[in-house]
């Protein structure tokens, strides 16, 4: 079986089309996680993020889609019918964010799988660390993945957050993650 790093590296073929980089059974459903392209998969990515952030958490749409998606790596979790159920992005700064899983699919490990893909991609790039602005209530999701709190509580989009950091490689240079 190929490593996660090689699966991520092979997720995009020369034409830019996406192929699955992880799949597994979640309950009775087969969920695929694949690297996504913002231009090609924008509607699917927006569908999940709008449901979770805009509708459930009342984040204004202009704050959710702030213009940084075109320069980010994205992952998308889909059912066999290609229904999008989860997403996550990784910015060039090393910031992991926009982690979202539809309510009906939460608690099944999809978010952890998405996060592992972003961490593996960061390691493959040789980055020394990754970080998140975690919603205060969701810090417990990131801690088991090696993230530690490095800031006081601050507000973003009307929601309390704390910055969390995970060191990946002690020899690699640290990235900038200024508040």
Identify the segments of the chain with pLDDT beneath 50: 1-20, 22, 28
CATH number of 4-126: 3.40.630.30
Q: What residue ranges do the domains of the chain occupy? A: 4-126
Q: List Cβ neighbours of 141 (8 Å cut-off, separation of 6 or more).
A: 111, 112, 134
Report pTM: 0.81
Residues 78-122: tens digit of each pLDDT: 999 999 999 999 999 999 999 999 999 999 999 999 999 999 999
Residue 56: phi, psi to the nearest 5? -75, -40
**DSSP string covering 36-94:** E-HHHHHHHHHHHHIIIIIIIS---HHHHS-S-GGGSEEEEEE-TT--EEEEEEE-TTS
């Amino acid at each position: 079986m190929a490593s996660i790093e090689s699966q991520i590296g092979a997720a995009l073929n020369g034409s830019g089309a996406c192929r699955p980089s992880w799949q597994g059974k979640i309950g009775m459903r087969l969920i695929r996680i694949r690297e996504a392209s913002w231009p090609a998969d924008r509607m699917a990515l927006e569908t999940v993020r709008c449901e979770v952030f805009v509708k459930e958490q009342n984040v204004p749409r202009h704050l959710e889609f702030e213009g940084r998606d075109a320069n980010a790596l994205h992952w998308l979790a889909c059912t066999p019918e290609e229904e999008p159920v989860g997403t996550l992005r990784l910015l060039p700064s090393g910031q992991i964010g926009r982690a979202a899983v539809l309510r009906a699919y939460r608690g099944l490990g999809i978010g952890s799988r998405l996060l592992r893909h972003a961490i593996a991609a960061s390691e493959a790039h040789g980055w020394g660390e990754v970080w998140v602005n975690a919603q205060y209530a969701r810090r417990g999701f990131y801690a088991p993945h090696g993230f530690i709190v490095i800031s006081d509580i601050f507000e973003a989009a009307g929601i309390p957050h704390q910055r969390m950091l995970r060191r990946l490689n002690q020899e690699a240079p640290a990235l900038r993650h200024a508040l």
